[in-house]
Amino acid sequence: MRNMTANNYGFDTLAIHAGQEPDPRTGAVVPPIYQTSTYAQDAVGAPRLGYEYSRSGNPTRDSLQECLAAIEGGRRGLAFASGLAAEDTLLRTVCRPGDHVVIPNDAYGGTFRLFSKVAEKWGLDWTAAPLDDIDAVRAAFRPGHTRLIWSETPTNPLLNVNDIAQLAGLAHEYDALLAVDNTFASPYLQQPLTLGADVVIHSTTKYLGGHSDVVGGGLVTADEGLGDELAFHQNAMGAVNGPFDAWLTLRGIKTLGVRMDRHCDNAERIVGYLSEHPAVSSVLYPGLATHPGHEVAAKQMSRFGGMVSFRAVGGPEQAIAICNRAKLFVLAESLGGVESLIEHPGQMTHLSAAGSALEVPADLVRLSVGIETVDDLLADLEQALG
Name the catalytic one among 61, 113, 147, 206.
Answer: 206
Point out the catalytic residue in the list 55, 142, 262, 325. Answer: 55
Q: What letters, b where the CB count within 10 A reaches 16 and e where it falls short, cover 121-154?
A: eeebbbbbbbbbebeebeebbeeeebbbbbbbbb
Is 174 annotated in the active site?
A: no
Cβ-proximal residues to 120 (8 Å cutoff; 6+ apart), any chain: 126
CA separation for the pair 82, 98 (Å, rounded) = 26
Beta bridge partners, 231, equal: none
Residues across the chain: 386
Q: Is-catalytic flag, 55?
A: yes
The alpha carbon of 221 is separated from its chain's Cα centroid by a whole number of angstroms, namely 14
To the query of whether residue 363 is one of the catalytic residues in this protein, the response is no
CA dist 262 and 106 (Å) reads: 27
Distance between CA atoms of residues 190 and 20, nearest Å: 23
**Euclidean distance between CA atoms 6 and 69, whole angstroms:** 10
Q: Tell whether the torsion through CA atoms of 194, 197, 198 and 204 is positive or negative.
A: negative
> Of 132, 181, 245, 380, which is the active-site residue?
181
Q: Note if 142 is an active site residue.
A: no
Q: Which of 34, 39, 51, 108 is catalytic?
A: 108
Cross-sheet strand order for the sheet of 280-284: 280-284, 307-312, 364-368, 341-343, 330-331
Catalytic residues: 55, 108, 181, 206
